[in-house]
């Protein structure tokens, strides 16, 4: 067995097989796989546990993750009925999503904002974590653990779990630790401020720590990493005209903000969600703004290209949403990214304190927005979860300039993404924001609900604009002169979504 990644004599004595590791996990336990995105999940131990289930043993666990795990967990464990509950977010795999949307017998999906899970773990709100399955790239002579790809909630879980199983994949990048900045906030009350005042600040360690006495064993494996595909199939250059127009509209808006003195020419750090729109917007920004930096939850393919090209100076991230070859290059050549790329725990990348201090420009996708500026970013037709809120709420409530992108319609025009009332609300009208479609920018700052309606009508698709205007005017009249702060027609709430469900389109048949 290759023990070259374990320099510590103490941990060398703890090497076990994946089957031995899996034997420690029992039915009903709470298990944490705390990594963010699936590159470095403990796949061998996960597969060994699946083997026990396939052999007929009853195994059902409560799973605390940080985002998508390996397909062995997200797909195979779910399909085998091994996950009783799951939190807080899933992106890459459909198994969790399908089970979460099952009326009876599916898993219980708890959709919490990402930054809060470590606080809930430390506070005991989630109960005990019986076993943590943690991937590391190696162990130093003095027992420090080398992070692999993404930190997630790893240090918090190492501190709080009753027992820990470590897995070292010999194909993981042993040098990635040099890009990590591991930092764990202190205890409450009396916690000290997180000492980040700019995106490039280094505040922690390159390594995790763990009490050896709680480590049940170390599994050595040699398997190809699961380098997930990028979040969207097209590059920014191949984006359709409507998406390119969104990018142009947004850059025009930013240039006005600079010209009118509300923003400096060197922009505040940027956060983006996933998707082709965000990548296209970043590319357009790079043509007009220099010295850009990012302080984000996950980094896009386009952003990494822009680092190599020199149009983005620095990226602080919690994870990677890049194509496999890009991630593979980072893992094989981490030294090329020192001073350009930093990997932080999700609690720090999404921390409200830091987000507010840095004054981020945040750019995220949405499913729909209503005429008052309420936003749905997680559900279809109000009932079916897509992936979860993720970090969107962390950024919405604390960013210097929260911005949201959507095409004005979906399903070839059958659905309007600007509606009288959202079918589900994640981000409320009380978080002043910018909403951008291919038809313009709705600036909802410093506006009452009725003033926001005018902004939202302007960016709606022309096919739906008259319908939205008609709804609003009838609502205004029905509310009367003294009850119209936020004019709504209660009897028509949800009618657009019902029409789409029944007829396949929100367009009126009258």
Q: What amino acid positions are annotated as catalytic residues? A: 297
Q: Is 261 left (phi over 0), alpha (psi -120 to 50) or beta?
A: left
Interatomic CA distance for residues 135 and 34, integer angstroms: 9
Residue 442's DSSP bridge partners are 435
Q: Which residue has the tokens 């396949």?
A: 504
Q: Are 27 and 59 in contact (CB under 8 A)?
A: yes
CA dihedral 499→501→507→510, nearest 10 degrees, is -30
Interatomic CA distance for residues 453 and 472, integer angstroms: 8
Assigned token pair, 452: 């926001």
What CA–CA distances, in Å, run from 12 to 9, 16, 146, 298?
5, 10, 15, 34
Q: Are 62 and 30 in contact (CB under 8 A)?
A: yes
Closest CA to 437 of 411, 451, 457: 457
Q: Which residue has the tokens 């220099």?
A: 290
Closest CA to 362 of 394, 401, 311, 312: 401
Return the H-helix or E-strand segment holding 307: helix 301-309
CA 200: distance to chain centroid? Answer: 21
Neighbours of 334 (CB within 10 A): 19
On the 0-12 / 13-18 / 19+ scale of CB atoms within 10 A, 501 is middle
Using DSSP, state whether 419 is helix, strand or coil. Answer: strand
Return the H-helix or E-strand segment holding 499: helix 495-503
Half-sphere exposure of 248 (CA within 13 A, CB side): 9
Using DSSP, state whether 308 is helix, strand or coil. Answer: helix
Q: Are 368 and 419 in contact (CB under 8 A)?
A: yes
Return the H-helix or E-strand segment holding 133: strand 131-136
Contact residues for 243 (Cβ-Cβ < 8 A; gap 6+) = 276, 277, 280, 407, 438
């Amino acid at each position: 067995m290759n023990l070259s990644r374990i320099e510590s004599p103490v941990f060398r004595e703890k090497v076990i097989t994946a089957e031995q590791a899996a034997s420690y996990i029992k039915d009903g336990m709470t298990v944490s796989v705390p990594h963010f995105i699936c590159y470095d999940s403990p796949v061998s131990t996960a597969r060994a546990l699946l083997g026990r289930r396939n052999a007929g043993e009853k195994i059902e666990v409560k799973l605390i993750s940080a985002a998508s795990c390996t397909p062995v967990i997200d797909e195979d464990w779910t399909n085998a009925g091994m996950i009783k509950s799951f939190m807080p977010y899933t992106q890459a795999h459909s198994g969790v999503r399908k089970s979460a949307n099952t009326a009876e017998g599916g898993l219980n999906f708890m959709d919490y904002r990402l930054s809060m899970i470590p606080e809930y773990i430390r506070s005991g709100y989630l109960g005990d974590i019986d076993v943590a399955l943690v991937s590391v790239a190696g162990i130093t002579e003095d027992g420090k653990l080398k992070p692999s790809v993404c930190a997630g909630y790893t240090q918090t879980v190492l501190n709080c779990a009753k027992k820990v199983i470590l897995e070292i994949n010999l194909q993981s990048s042993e040098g990635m630790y040099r890009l990590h900045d591991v930092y764990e906030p202190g205890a409450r009350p009396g916690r000290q401020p997180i000492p980040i005042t700019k995106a490039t600040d280094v505040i922690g360690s390159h390594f995790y720590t763990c009490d050896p006495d709680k480590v049940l064993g170390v599994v050595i494996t040699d398997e190809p990493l699961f380098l997930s595909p990028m979040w969207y199939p097209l590059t920014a250059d191949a984006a359709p005209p409507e998406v390119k127009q969104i990018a142009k509209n947004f850059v025009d808006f930013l240039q006005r903000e600079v010209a009118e003195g509300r923003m400096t020419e060197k922009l505040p750090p940027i956060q983006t969600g996933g998707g082709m729109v965000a990548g296209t917007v970043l590319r357009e920004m790079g043509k007009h703004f220099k010295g850009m930096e990012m302080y984000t939850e996950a980094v896009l393919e386009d952003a990494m290209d822009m680092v190599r090209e020199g149009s983005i100076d620095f990226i602080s991230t919690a994870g990677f949403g890049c194509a496999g070859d890009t991630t593979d290059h980072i893992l094989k050549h981490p030294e090329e990214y020192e001073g350009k790329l930093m990997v932080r725990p999700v609690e720090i990348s999404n921390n409200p304190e830091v987000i507010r201090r840095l004054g981020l420009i945040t750019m995220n996708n949405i499913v729909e927005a209503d005429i008052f500026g309420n936003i749905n970013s997680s559900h279809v037709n109000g009932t079916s979860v897509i992936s979860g809120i993720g970090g969107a709420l962390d950024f919405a409530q604390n960013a210097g300039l929260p911005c949201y992108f959507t095409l004005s319609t979906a399903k070839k025009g059958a659905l309007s993404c600007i509606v009288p009332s959202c079918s589900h609300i994640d981000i409320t009208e009380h978080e002043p924001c910018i909403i951008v479609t291919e038809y313009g920018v709705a600036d909802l700052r410093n506006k009452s609900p009725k003033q926001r309606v005018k902004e939202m009508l302007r960016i709606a698709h022309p096919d739906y604009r008259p319908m939205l205007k008609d709804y609003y005017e009838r609502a205004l009249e029905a509310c009367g002169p003294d009850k119209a702060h936020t004019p709504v027609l209660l009897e028509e709430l949800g009618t657009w979504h019902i029409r789409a469900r029944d007829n396949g389109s929100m367009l009126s048949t009258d």
